[in-house]
Structure 1
Amino acid sequence: MSFKDLQLNKPILKAIEDAGYIDPTLVQEKTIPLVLGKKDVITSAQTGTGKTAAFALPILQLLFDKQDAPKKGKKIRALVISPTRELAVQIGENFKTYGKNTNLRSTVVFGGTSIEPQIDVLKKGVDILVATPGRLLDLHKQDYINLDHIEILVLDEADLMLDMGFIDDVKKVERLCPETKQTLLFSATMPFKVEQLANSILKSPERIEVTPTSSAAKDVSQILYYVPKRNKIELCLHLLRNTIKGSILIFRRTKFGVDKLEQTLIKNGYKVETLHGDKAQSDRQTALNKFKNGYVNILIATDVAARGIDINELDAVVNFDMPNVPETYVHRIGRTGRAGNVGTAHSFCSADEKAYIKTIQQLINVQIPVEDEHPYPLDPKAKPIVHKKQGSKHKKGRKGEGSKKNKKRWY
């Protein structure tokens, strides 16, 4: 099947061709006709399957077919809600790329940066708005955004929105849009809460599942290293010197961990950038651009900062800390081996993370191969380190001499 078979019009087909795409991915093949048919849709597909275009293309088509005369001033007719700024920016770029031969205007609004330029663009009028929930509600409260004319609402990465605590904001936005709108929900995983949300806001939706969410990326070879927690940094340096080459994305669980590893790698002469939630939006964008353009070859990130980022030609992913949610592992290693490229995923597991490996292997239905030949093996009998709390050295209920003397007795 080609894009032509999907009933897309010439200006959009031309833009797709210019972007270098020939055949639609499976998720696009299944989703586009349903969206064009004005159906509510739930699509569960992982990042890297081309799902942004699966909603961007039919939205451009539907809005293009039914355009108002420009002199009336443009109204927001399609709204895409995205959990993170990076993802919102990426979706915005997609709309610009595919809509370049139409006169449809799109813009992106998100928090963490100045609100004024965003207000200026909104005043001029846009057809398509991509937004993070907080900034969207802010601008709505200040009357810069009117959601009365929304025809299509998209909730992207719904599971991540719930994880980040946006559920109430999402419901509020949904209520501000007209009853008659068409709603599309995209989610990498379908936990119960996402199902609940979908049932409460979608009208008899069509469901699309592209590859069971638990299948780990096919073109990724996975390797597991058992290593004591204190030796993880040494193992990382050992592998960077000898084994792992090219562009590398390293995951850590905390921002503190990201910064600590960054300092160590820089001291050892590596070119490194970092991504985490405390960084200003402009710094995150700069870090990402440096990595994409090959100015640095190592990017260290937390999960929330790296979700949905589209990095092509990634050679390796390193799970420095194992994730406690097995689906997160699938997302992380899915960053490499995309679009026909082959990649490797290296995972460091300390004694206290063994339980995570078990749940990950159950989810992906694969026994991850273990590499024993490295300088810092973990003793198989090693138990997780438990830090005991130091109690007070004084006996309970014992009063100091001073306090006894100072007490004024009432009797």
Structure 2
Amino acid sequence: MTFENLNLIEPILKALKTEGYSNPTPIQAKSIPLILQERDLLGCAQTGTGKTAAFSIPILQLLHGQQSTEGRGKRPIKSLILTPTRELALQIGESMESYGKHTGLKSTVIFGGVPQRKQTDALRAGVDILIATPGRLLDLMSQKYVDLQHLQIFVLDEADRMLDMGFVNDVKKVLKVLPEKKQSLFFSATMAPEIMKLADTILVDPAKVEVTPVSSTANTIKQAVYYVKGPDKRKLLLHLLNNEEMESVLVFTRTKRGADRVARDIAKAGVTAEAIHGDKAQNARVRALNNFKARKTRVLVATDIAARGIDVDDLSHVVNYELPNEPETYVHRIGRTGRAGASGIALSFCTADETPYLASIQKLISKNVPVVDNHPYPLTAKDFAEAASTIKEQKQKGGRGGRGRGGNRSAGSGNSGRSTSANSNRPAGGPRNGGGNRSNGNRSHSNASKANA
């Protein structure tokens, strides 16, 4: 299937051709016709599947068809796209500009953390499509800069992250002022009960589209895990960065302070690196992301929330410096590479006490992540034994400890194969996961193709 098969108008097809797009992704092929029919839509798709274009393209087409019937004067806001992070808002704004460059429609992005003057000037001039984060939107609504009474299309994007970040009350405040008659589009990477409850308050008889469940990882992404002590993670990362094929690397940490520390350590070693997280000034975040996209910066270190919306061409590697305690987050993280059918590489560092997290991840994705044994900073049997003892004590005390979802059970342990000399020191139910898929040093990722966004 091509975009021509979706009955798109020539101005949009021309823009897509300029961007090098010819074939829609599954979420685009399924969603665009339904949205063009002016149906409400409930879409479930993980990061990297192309859902921004899935709603941006049909919105542009629907609004473009109205322009000839409109009189002159200030443009009323006809579409609102609500999204949780500044980075994602900017990405959507860039997409709208790219796909709509020949339509004559105007869009703008508003978000907090920066002076509002430039944003309010754009609103005064009139825009057709408004992309906003919840806090700044409510602020400018209270100042009477935003009028939504003429709204026709509402999009709630990354709904699961909205809830994670505590924006649900802000979303409800926005919903109260929207016109009752409108087309609503709801996108989320997961569909937990609380997400469905929110969707039910927004959508009317929606069409439902589900593509690539969150439990799956793209086959084009080569995954590997390195068992390593916490203090040795920095040295292991620098060792891996000696591989020149790691051209563009997105590193994930759990905390903002951790992101700053890792970026600082990498930079001291002579590798260009910057950190991006919620405590950074907006200008600094935009600059860091632009430097990374332009390949001025080789390594970008990010927290999970800040990374939502990072869309980088040819991202060769994702590195989980720290494994997430929620296995779905792992899928989101590594989905930053291997996008839209391209290939990519995801490497994870795992300490002995992080093995429950790895077990939960492997259970979710229904596969064992291959283990790289041959590296300079391997764990010992003593490390695993001490970690197992600590986890056991914490469980007996009723604490969660370092346990991820799925507990201390090994995913797929019955299929991990017999112990070999390379993994015989590992405790059962922990690092033997993937033992039958061992890789040898940097060869586990040196020959993989680079990712394409």
Q: Structures share a fold, TM > 0.5?
A: yes
Q: Which residue of 1 aligns with 2:309?
A: 308
SS at match of 2:150: coil
SS at match of 2:241: helix
Q: Which amino acid aligns with 1:14?
A: K
Q: Which residue of 2 aligns with 1:382?
A: 385
SS at match of 2:386: coil
SS at match of 2:155: strand
Contact 1:313/1:338, CA 8 A, preserved across alignment:
no
- Structure 2: how far apart are the matches of 1:239 and 1:161? 35
Q: Give 1:235 deviation, angstroms.
A: 1.6
Q: Give 1:366 deviation, angstroms.
A: 0.6
- Structure 2: how far apart are the matches of 1:42 and 1:69? 30
Contact 2:25/2:340, CA 8 A, preserved across alignment:
no
Q: Which residue of 1 aligns with 2:282?
A: 281
Q: Which residue of 2 aligns with 1:299?
A: 300
Contact 1:217/1:330, CA 8 A, preserved across alignment:
no
- Structure 1: how far apart are the matches of 2:361 and 2:46? 16
Q: Give 1:286 deviation, angstroms.
A: 0.7
SS at match of 1:80: strand
- Structural mapping, 1:87-236, within 5 Å: 87-236=88-237
- Structure 1: how far apart are the matches of 2:72 and 2:246? 55
Contact 1:273/1:287, CA 8 A, preserved across alignment:
yes
SS at match of 1:382: helix
Please identify, of 158-167 and 43-52, the stretch whose mean Cα deviation from structure 2 is larger: 43-52
Q: Give 1:369 deviation, angstroms.
A: 0.9
Contact 2:226/2:348, CA 8 A, preserved across alignment:
yes
Q: Which residue of 2 aligns with 1:2?
A: 2
Q: Which amino acid aligns with 1:30?
A: K
How much identity, in percent, do the aligned residues show? 54
Contact 2:259/2:301, CA 8 A, preserved across alignment:
yes
Q: Which residue of 1 aligns with 2:338?
A: 337
Q: Deviations over 1:279-321 (max 9, x none)?
A: 1111111111111111121111111111121012111111010
- Structure 2: how far apart are the matches of 1:243 and 1:360? 29
- Structure 1: how far apart are the matches of 2:356 and 2:343? 28
Q: Give 1:191 deviation, angstroms.
A: 1.8
Q: Which residue of 2 aligns with 1:53?
A: 53
Change (3 A) 1:383 1:244: farther
Contact 1:106/1:129, CA 8 A, preserved across alignment:
yes
- Structure 1: how far apart are the matches of 2:35 and 2:159? 18
Q: Which amino acid aligns with 1:103?
A: G
Q: Give 1:242 deviation, angstroms.
A: 4.8
Please identify, of 254-263 and 122-131, the stretch whose mean Cα deviation from structure 2 is larger: 254-263
- Structure 1: how far apart are the matches of 2:243 and 2:4? 48
Contact 2:50/2:340, CA 8 A, preserved across alignment:
no
Q: Give 1:343 deviation, angstroms.
A: 1.8
Please identify, of 331-340 and 275-284, the stretch whose mean Cα deviation from structure 2 is larger: 331-340
Q: Gaps (5+ residues) in structure 1?
A: 389-411
Contact 2:78/2:153, CA 8 A, preserved across alignment:
yes
Q: Which amino acid aligns with 1:189?
A: T
SS at match of 2:72: helix
- Structure 2: how far apart are the matches of 1:306 and 1:97? 22
Q: Which amino acid aligns with 1:32?
A: I
Q: Give 1:245 deviation, angstroms.
A: 2.1
Q: Give 1:69 deviation, angstroms.
A: 2.6
SS at match of 2:385: coil
- Structural mapping, 1:218-257, within 5 Å: 218-242=219-243, 245-257=246-258
- Structure 2: how far apart are the matches of 1:127 and 1:268? 48
- Structure 1: how far apart are the matches of 2:297 and 2:98? 27
Q: Which amino acid aligns with 2:44?
A: S
Q: Which amino acid aligns with 2:291?
A: K
Q: Which amino acid aligns with 1:137?
A: L
- Structure 2: how far apart are the matches of 1:223 and 1:156? 31
- Structure 1: how far apart are the matches of 2:343 and 2:78? 40
Structure with the greater alpha carbon radius of gyration = 1
Q: Which amino acid aligns with 1:54?
A: A
Q: Which residue of 2 aligns with 1:324?
A: 325
Change (3 A) 1:243 1:40: same
Q: Which residue of 2 aligns with 1:395?
A: none
- Structure 2: how far apart are the matches of 1:102 and 1:239? 46
Q: Which residue of 2 aligns with 1:290?
A: 291
- Structure 2: how far apart are the matches of 1:250 and 1:89? 21
Quick check: 1:44 aligned with 2:47?
no
- Structure 1: how far apart are the matches of 2:244 and 2:123? 50
Per the normalisation by structure 2, the TM-score is: 0.83
Q: Which amino acid aligns with 2:157?
A: D
Q: Which amino acid aligns with 1:324?
A: N
Q: Give 1:243 deviation, angstroms.
A: 7.9
Change (3 A) 1:241 1:263: same
Q: Which residue of 2 aligns with 1:402?
A: none
SS at match of 1:300: strand
Q: Give 1:244 deviation, angstroms.
A: 6.2
Q: Deviations over 1:206-245 (max 9, x none)?
A: 1101122211121111111111212211222222225862
Contact 1:112/1:280, CA 8 A, preserved across alignment:
yes
Q: Deviations over 1:347-394 (max 9, x none)?
A: 1111221111111001100111111112222234333497x9xxxxxx
- Structure 1: how far apart are the matches of 2:5 and 2:224? 41
Q: Give 1:71 deviation, angstroms.
A: 1.5
Contact 1:109/1:132, CA 8 A, preserved across alignment:
yes
Count of aligned pairs = 388
SS at match of 2:340: coil
